[in-house]
């Protein structure tokens, strides 16, 4: 048990560090390709932060532990909205204004993606044919964001940059780290769940999802303190949309995904309610410190409920 726990901690650390280096290197290459800053922020950074969930999801299906996938998706979404967003606003100690129209694009697609996930997962099984619609919706989301994000003309002539060879090497090495980190993370979760006689989906719902969202919590607190609140919250919402629409489709291409009853009866409704609550509270274009604390406390209640069930 100690060895499995140590393997989980080390593998998760390798996974997160590798994902961080991968994202930074991809951002450098994106700048060299002269991609707009908005596109780099939303897609390279946003998708990069979801790589741990994506790769671990694919490997979980191939190893016959597909119930880890919905547990990780649901747990990551709940952690992102309640814990990451809630604590970021609460620790900022002042209200966060949401003036950008793009936040509402994220909010609308957030609700839509949660609705789609509930539809395809309610029967306890997710296959590729039904989850493929998520890819199509994400493409629509991407086009919508890119059209808006690239509409502002550049005010200065682009500077010719040398090809970032170092970034490419880091990108490839980080990709290897992500693969092996995810592989051993899935293996250790399965072993821990077996020895504790609890479903792997519950371990993924709590420990794994919390571990993969802690770095985002630190980054978001820093971003909000620098006056970049909308970018931080937008990245969280965009990450949730990617997790919910793309990961089930990609993972189910390698085999059907099992959604355990324990997730359907409690955690899935909590995820849906969390998305709806955030959507409603954001309609006045501001999030107060008290709302941030409420989100954090709801997350604490969620974890306590899971632990005592």
Tell whether the model's pLDDT for residue 275 goes beyond 80: yes
Query: Long-range pairs for 216-221 at CB < 8 Å and ≥24 separation?
Result: 216/49, 216/80, 216/84, 217/83, 217/84, 217/87, 217/88, 220/84, 220/85, 220/88, 221/87, 221/88, 221/91, 221/92
Q: Say how many C-beta atoms besides its own lie within 10 A of residue 154's C-beta.
A: 9
CATH class of 2-151+162-308: mainly alpha
**Alpha-carbon distance 89 to 133, whole Å?**
33
Looking at residues 151-162, what average pLDDT do you find? 56
Tell whether the model's pLDDT for residue 268 goes beyond 90: yes
The SS3 assignment for 97 reads: strand
pTM, whole model, 2 decimals?
Answer: 0.79
pLDDT for 26 equals: 76
Tell whether the model's pLDDT for residue 234 goes beyond 60: yes
In our burial notation (b when 16+ CB lie closer than 10 A, e otherwise), range 191-216 reads bbbeeeeebbbbbbbbbbbbbbbebb
pLDDT tier, 58 (very low <50, low <70, confident <90, very high otherwise) = confident
Range in 108-122, 170-184, 237-251 with the lowest mean pLDDT: 170-184
**Strand 286-287 to 257-258 pairing:** unpaired
Each domain of the chain, given as residue ranges in start order, spans 2-151+162-308
Looking at residues 150-171, what average pLDDT do you find? 67
pLDDT for 164 equals: 83
**How many helices (H) and strands (E) are present in the chain, helices listed first?**
14, 4
Is residue 50 within 8 A of residue 243, CB to CB? The reply is yes
Q: Of the spans 187-191, 192-196, 298-302, which averages the highest pLDDT? A: 298-302
Q: Of the candidates 278, 270, 242, 298, which has an alpha carbon nearest to the alpha carbon of residue 103?
A: 278
**Alpha-carbon distance 229 to 214, whole Å?**
17
pLDDT for 229 equals: 67
Q: Give residue-wise pLDDT tens across range 94-124.
A: 787 776 666 677 788 999 999 999 999 999 9
Tell whether the model's pLDDT for residue 303 goes beyond 90: no
Half-sphere exposure of 220 (CA within 13 A, CB side): 30
Tell whether the model's pLDDT for residue 173 goes beyond 80: yes
**Alpha-carbon distance 33 to 266, whole Å?**
45
The DSSP call for residue 63 is T
Tell whether the model's pLDDT for residue 187 goes beyond 90: no
């Amino acid at each position: 048990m100690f060895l499995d726990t140590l393997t989980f901690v080390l593998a998760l650390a390798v996974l997160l560090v590798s994902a961080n280096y991968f994202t930074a290197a991809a951002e450098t290459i994106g700048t060299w390709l002269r991609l707009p800053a908005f596109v780099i922020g939303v897609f390279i950074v946003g998708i990069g932060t979801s790589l741990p969930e994506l790769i671990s999801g694919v490997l979980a299906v191939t190893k016959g532990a597909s119930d880890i996938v919905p547990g990780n998706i649901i747990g990551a979404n709940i952690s992102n909205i309640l814990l990451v967003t809630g604590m970021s606003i609460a620790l900022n100690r002042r209200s966060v204004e949401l003036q950008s129209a793009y936040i509402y694009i994220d909010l609308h697609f957030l609700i839509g993606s949660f609705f789609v996930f509930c539809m395809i997962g309610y029967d306890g099984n997710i296959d590729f044919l039904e989850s493929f619609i998520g890819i199509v919706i994400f493409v629509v989301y991407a086009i919508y964001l890119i059209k808006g994000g690239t509409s502002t003309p550049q005010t200065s002539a682009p500077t010719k940059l040398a090809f970032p060879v170092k970034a490419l090497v880091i990108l490839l090495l980080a990709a290897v780290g992500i693969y092996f980190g995810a592989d051993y993370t899935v293996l250790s979760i399965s072993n821990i769940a077996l020895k504790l006689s609890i479903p792997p989906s519950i371990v993924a719902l709590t420990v794994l999802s919390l571990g993969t969202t802690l770095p985002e919590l630190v980054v978001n607190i820093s971003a909000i303190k620098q006056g970049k609140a909308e970018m931080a919250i937008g990245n969280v919402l965009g990450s949730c949309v990617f997790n919910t629409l793309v990961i089930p489709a990609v993972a189910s291409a390698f085999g059907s995904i099992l959604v355990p009853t324990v997730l359907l009866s409690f955690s899935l409704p909590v995820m849906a309610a969390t998305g709806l609550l955030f959507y409603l509270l954001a309609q006045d274009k501001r999030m107060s410190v008290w709302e941030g604390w409420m989100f954090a406390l709801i997350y604490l209640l969620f974890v306590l409920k899971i632990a005592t069930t």
